[in-house]
Amino acid sequence: MPRRAALPPKRVDPQQKPFREGLSWQTGSSASLPDEVVRFRRRAILVARLLRDELAVTGSAVPRDLAALLDLVRDARHVVELGTAAGWTALSVALVNPACRVLTLDDTHKKRRHAYSILVPKDVRSRVEFRTERAELGCGAIRDVDVLFVDVGWHSLEETRDPFLAWEPAVRTGGTVVFHDYRRPDFPGVAAAIDELGLTGELHGGSLFVWRKPG
Ligand SMILES: C[S@@+](CC[C@H](N)C(=O)[O-])C[C@H]1O[C@@H](n2cnc3c(N)ncnc32)[C@H](O)[C@@H]1O
């Protein structure tokens, strides 16, 4: 019997793990998401698989958090998101609320956002403005924001506190600030920033801390 050459040990690419893990977070139950968002996300996940876009699958809000955020923006006219990643959340907000404009800021320009934007109708993507800007640099003359979503970087205390301080003046009286990944063990900076800022609020979904701006 000819002897078979020994096969080299199977190599596992450590880079694949976060991608696969992220995919499983994103494809977990989407039961409470509106149908149009479920349809958009199905196609976005397909594109992310083709592009092997790790940031999209590991960095975008997961279905449970997204569903809670979409409830909070239902009546909003002007939403600002600090931290865009692939743009899935910003595009989902514009999809569910046809009266809403979304401004989303990220410190890095990512060409791949275009691949996701074209998955929604033109009138939806035309209401989403992608800006490459550091969130802590301030809101300029922007005012009357109904909902501000703070979701910057790796959520250190500084990455949470400084963008909030820079953008809080833009939020209208009675408006809402939503902090992502509150009380998640991997991101203690969010709760630390909220404590330092002395904010009191409510928990929505799994990990959204919601603060309303007093009059
Ligand atoms: C968790 S992801 C945002 C996810 C996004 N909100 C979503 O749900 O799809 C964090 C993003 O913050 C961005 N970022 C990091 N530092 C920043 C800064 N100083 N200003 C603005 N964006 C920043 C990163 O490039 C990354 O895309």
Q: Residue 22's pLDDT is what? A: 84
Fold of the 32-212 domain: Rossmann fold (3.40.50)
Quote the ligand 1 centre to 98 CA distance (angstroms): 24
Tell whether ligand 1 has an atom less than 6 A from the beta carbon of residue 135.
yes
d(C-alpha 24, C-alpha 18), whole Å: 10
Helix axes 16-26, 35-51, angle to 10 degrees: 170
pLDDT, average across residues 132-149: 98
**Which residue carries 């300029």 as its tokens?**
140
**Sign of dihedral through CA atoms 56, 59, 61, 62?**
positive
Rounded to the nearest integer, the mean pLDDT of the chain is: 92
Is pLDDT of 11 > 50? no
Phi/psi of residue 131, nearest 5 degrees = -125, 135
Mean pLDDT of 12-23: 68
- pLDDT exceeds 80 at position 175: yes
62 ligand 1 Cβ < 6 A:
no
DSSP helix/strand/coil, 114:
helix
Q: Is the pLDDT of residue 3 over 70?
A: no
User: Is 103 within 8 Å of 149 (Cβ atoms)?
Assistant: no
Q: Is the CB of 36 under 6 A from ligand 1?
A: no
Q: With a 6 A CB cut-off, is 91 part of the ligand 1 pocket?
A: no
CB of residue 178 inside a 6 A radius of ligand 1: no
The residue contributing the CA closest to ligand 1 atom 22 is: 106
Ligand 1 atom 15, closest CA: 153
* Number of H-type helices and E-type strands within the chain: 9, 7
181-214 tens-digit pLDDT? 999 999 999 999 999 999 999 999 889 999 999 9
CA distance 146 to 171: 6
Instruction: Pick the more confident residue, 28 or 185.
Output: 185
